[in-house]
Amino acid sequence: MLQNMTEGAPLKLIIPFMVPLLIGNVFQQLYNIADIIIVGRTIGVNALAAVGAVSPLFMLTMVLTIGLSNGFTVVTGQRYGAQDMQGMRRSIATCVVLSLFFVLLIMGIMHLVIDPMLVMMNIPPELMEDAYAYVMIIVDGLLAMMAYNLLSGIMRSLGDSKTPLYFLIISSIVNIILALVFIICFGWGVPGSAFALVIAQAFSAVLCVIYIYKRFPQLHIHRSDFNLDWPELWAHLRMGLPMAVQFSVLGLGIIILQSVCNKFGSDQIAGFTTAMRVEQLALQPMISFGIAMAVFTAQNFGARRFDRIRDAVRRCSLLTLAFSLFAAVVVFAFGEEVIGIFLDNPSPTVMQAAHL
């Protein structure tokens, strides 16, 4: 259901909107986490290390698609807040064109740089084959990832954060089932988990298309909506590119850390991979508040309600600080228990590396 966020108490709008978003972000993280758990428990430490050694590349491509799609759809939310339905449809058409351009660009660049990048990341020789296969399947499936993130971003920009969550939960279950089937029944190993992930993401994108087509005729775009010009493109680029850069800074930092960690062998890689997954889950409340605030701000900016924006920023900043302190306490107190989820009988070396 679409929601107008330009009227009513800001926190009473933002928190109910943020909760499905938080659950959805956790489930999106579970795509990669489920692969790591299944691979680690069914194949072994080396397979987990192979996936973990290149998982920062997966995370980088994922946050790029999330940043671009959420940035582009800020304009969509602004026009919805201003009740400019024609401009909103034109914005959706622009989002589709730009998203397709950038995902193809990212895929092309990754194909060109993947070999030197894996060398730069110090992937151990015994892990190279599985690591290369995993990351290339993910790269070739980026179109599915971008499609889901864009379509869910459009729905969120119009105030609907629940429907993308439902589809993400379904696709996460599909991912787990397919990964188990591909690895255990078909014996595909590490590539099987990557194929399962891409198919599940494509499935969630298809569900979004069907839902939008059946439930929201006001979102249907026509050929005339693709009559784009530079001002229209720039309005979206100046939102999408900074958000993509902001999201990718953390991903680049993790790649550097992973490159150093990869020098120390499979046990250290497995431990570091596990610890990073725990950290990323702990960060999700703060990330979800940020995306929720982007939607709230976009709609109220379009409606010229700047007083509501200032009030919401102040309140959400305090809540985010409280969540940060809570997450730090939980991870410190229960870190070892959470780490034990990822591996069956982890060695003391793996556990020590993850805990530190």
Instruction: Write out pLDDT tens, residues 203-248.
Output: 999 999 999 888 888 788 888 888 888 899 999 999 889 888 887 8
For the stretch 12-71, pLDDT in tens is: 888 887 787 777 777 766 665 666 677 777 777 777 778 877 878 887 888 888 889 888
Integer Cα distance of 174 and 220 in angstroms: 28
Among 103, 74, 331, CA closest to 201: 103
Cut 0.85: pTM above it? no
Among the listed residues 143, 169, 144, 150, the one whose alpha carbon sits nearest the alpha carbon of residue 24: 169
Domains of the chain, residue spans: 10-355
Tell me the CB-side half-sphere exposure of residue 96, using CA atoms within 13 A: 17
